[in-house]
Structure 1
Amino acid sequence: MASALYTSFKALLLTADIDLAADDIRAVIVDTADYTYSAAHDFLADVPGGARVAVSSALGSKTTTGGVFDAADTTFSAVTGDSVEAIVLYKHTGSDATADLIAYIDGVSVTPNGGDITIQWNASGIFAL
């Protein structure tokens, strides 16, 4: 599966119901053996708990310059569990049933060993519109 923006996120952008710079945006690293991307997914509840290897705190230093979303590199502390093959970005609301999915980022390959995992976002940004 290639990286993609969730369809529901695109609709939220068009109706100004999400603000990438101001909202609490987080990342979850996932095991694709337990989760398969679907454009029909719209909330974090659509990503099974067993697929979620670790969840970040709020992304820091977010920018939305020139149609490009970017943030500071993200560290997941003391990660154990299944291998990681993707990252899912979402708007944290405190409830998985209302936490809007934003992006599915493929191409990650990490096997947790109890240490920290740092995601170094692409120098050109996390994604562009």
Structure 2
Amino acid sequence: MSALFDPGREGFLDGSIQWNATPTHKISLLRGYTFSAAHKFVSEVTGAGGSLVATQTLSGKLAASGVADASDVTFPTVAAGDPITALIIYQASATSGGADLAASSQRLIAFIDDAANLPITPNGGNIDVVFDSGPNKIFKL
């Protein structure tokens, strides 16, 4: 069940989230979290028991016809541990770019738990995330 967070959808409509080159968007490997569409900030995910296992910055972001895409991501040498059950995508900076905001201000966008190879148990090696090449790419508004 992959889904967009409701406040994330709202953020695209009110301009507080933008999918372009200026703001920093990140993707995190996640475990221990039960999805809530109402969550708005990364701190709500971690406050609900979610653990961000590893994080990477998205690059090559593209938007066309309401579809978001980005370059595939490699998480290098992810420490062995419990299974990773999902991914989250969020805007880590302000829309104007700059440094990452506090987790209590980082805006959640997408929750993905039905990607190929999920859940995955890290073993100290790399974990590659290859985004869908179909018409909906990472997500479609």
Scaled by the length of structure 2, the TM-score of the pair is 0.83
Q: Which residue of 2 aligns with 1:36?
A: 34
Amino acid at match of 1:67: G
Aligned partner of 1:127 in structure 2 is: 139
Query: 2:83 is matched with which residue?
Result: 83
CA distance in structure 2 between the aligned counterparts of 1:9 and 1:20, rounded to whole angstroms: 11
Give the Cα–Cα distance (whole angstroms) in 1 for the partners of residues 91 and 123 of structure 2: 28
Whole-angstrom CA distance in 2 between matches of 1:85 and 1:115: 17
Task: Tell me which amino acid in the other structure corresponds to 1:71.
Answer: A
Structure 2, unpaired ranges of 5+: 94-99
State the shift of 1:110 in Å: 1.1
Q: Look up the match of 1:68.
A: 67
- Partner of residue 59, structure 1: 58
Q: Please state how far the C-alpha of 1:20 moved relative to its aligned partner.
A: 0.9
The structure 1 segments of at least 4 consecutive aligned residues displaced by more than 3 Å after TM superposition are: none
8 Å Cα contact 1:29/1:53 also seen in 2: yes
* Structure 1 residue 8 corresponds to structure 2 residue 15: no
Counterpart residue type for residue 20 of structure 1? W
Identity score, percent: 37
1:43 touches 1:97 (CA, 8 Å); kept in 2?
Answer: yes
| SS of equivalent to 1:17 | coil
* Rounded Cα–Cα distance in structure 1 between residues aligned with 2:82 and 2:108: 22
Name 1:104's counterpart in structure 2: 111
Report the TM-score, using the length of structure 1 for normalisation.
Answer: 0.91
Task: Report the RMSD for the aligned CA atoms in angstroms.
Answer: 1.3
Gaps of 5+ in 1: none
User: How many pairs does the alignment contain?
Assistant: 125
